[in-house]
Amino acid sequence: MTALPAADFGVYAELDGIPDAPRRARELIRQVLGSHHPAADDSALIASELVANAVVHSRSGEPGGTLFLSIETASGHSDVRIQVRDAGSLDTPAVATNDRDSEHGRGLAIVSALAPEWGSQPTAVGRTTWARIGGREPTAIQPHVPEREAG
């Protein structure tokens, strides 16, 4: 995991597309936000779900694959924007309507429940899925993840 400054109040990290990546994402969220940030727990869970989805459902989870995690926040505000850019897949992320007994398919439902805004866009090198949590009005935050291929 390589963490580098992303914006005034944030970082981005390139993570290996392995099953351990969601745990590493949670650790990074806790390092960036600290334990006293009002959105720390929700942010860690959202980052974990978005990273897990990237590992399971995109080419980032193939051998040698990587993904980028971006965490942005502003001093004095509880807003947090989390972005995961993966190497892409054929499917667009959507909240699943799985059977209640299914062991999978709840990640984006959790993200949707915790984040007033989330979305996904294809990029030139894959797909970026993002979530914003906190109390301020929505803002147009541009991704600060470098445009090189995750893979």
Every domain of the chain and the residues it spans: 2-133
pLDDT, residue 136, reads: 47
For residue 140, give every residue at least 6 positions away whose Cβ sits within 8 Å of its Cβ, in sequence order, or none. Answer: none
pLDDT, residue 139, reads: 44
Q: Contact, 18 vs 54, CB < 8 A?
A: no
Please determine, looking at this structure, whether the domain spanning 2-133 carries the CATH number 3.20.20.150.
Answer: no
Question: For residues 74 and 94, what is the distance between their CA atoms, to the nearest angstrom?
Answer: 28
| Single pTM value for the model | 0.78
Q: Going residue by residue through the chain, which has 151 residues, state the pLDDT in tens, using 9 for 90 and above.
A: 544 434 457 888 999 999 999 999 999 999 999 888 899 999 999 999 999 999 998 999 999 999 999 999 877 677 899 999 999 876 665 555 665 655 555 577 788 888 989 898 998 889 999 999 975 444 444 444 445 555 5
* Long-range Cβ pairs for the range 146-150 (8 Å, 24+): 146/12, 146/68, 147/123, 149/87, 149/125, 150/14, 150/60, 150/65, 150/66, 150/67, 150/68, 150/85, 150/86, 150/87, 150/125, 150/126
- Beta bridge partners, 26, equal none
With b for 16 or more beta-carbon neighbours within 10 A and e for fewer, the 4-13 pattern comes to eebbebbbbb
